[in-house]
Amino acid sequence: PLDQADQTHPHFTNLHHALRLARQQLARKGAQNKQIFIITDGQPTAHLTTSKAGPGSEILNLIYPPSEASAEATLEEAFRCSQQGIRISSFALIEEYCGMDWVGFVDQLTRLVRGVAFYCTAGDLGSTIMESYLAGKREKRPLG
């Protein structure tokens, strides 16, 4: 159960839940320009499902190696964000070439939500975020 998640191993990537929480938080804000920044070093390895007890009682699914179920749940939530006018920017931390096999998920997410993705090392993250911010200030593009 989700309420027992603090008892689990910390090395899972639950983008599904993170996107849901961000979408819910942004829904309460009146700002016109809403954006989510995803900084990740892997594809989703966790997602939530509703338990048989009904709404409000969710199960945290921790799955390694990554599963299609976690990817699909994450992409569905990202699409909900996009439908609500929330822009998504992804920063994929690529430390070694061997880690490149999971960037297909980031590419799929970016295409689905018409977002942007940046690929960098952890050491270059700060400058990459700054470059993306400055480029966005110069090139205003409508969402959609």
Q: Determine the Cα–Cα distance for residues 41 and 103; give it in Å rounded to an integer.
A: 9
90-111: per-residue pLDDT in tens? 998 887 655 566 788 999 999 9
Which secondary structure element, helix H or strand E, spans residue 140, and what is its range? none
Using the structure block, give the residue that is written with the tokens 């961000």.
Answer: 22
60-95: per-residue pLDDT in tens? 999 998 999 999 999 999 999 999 999 999 998 887
DSSP state of 127: H
Q: Determine the Cα–Cα distance for residues 57 and 129; give it in Å rounded to an integer.
A: 37
Torsion angles phi and psi, residue 102, rounded to 5: -95, -5
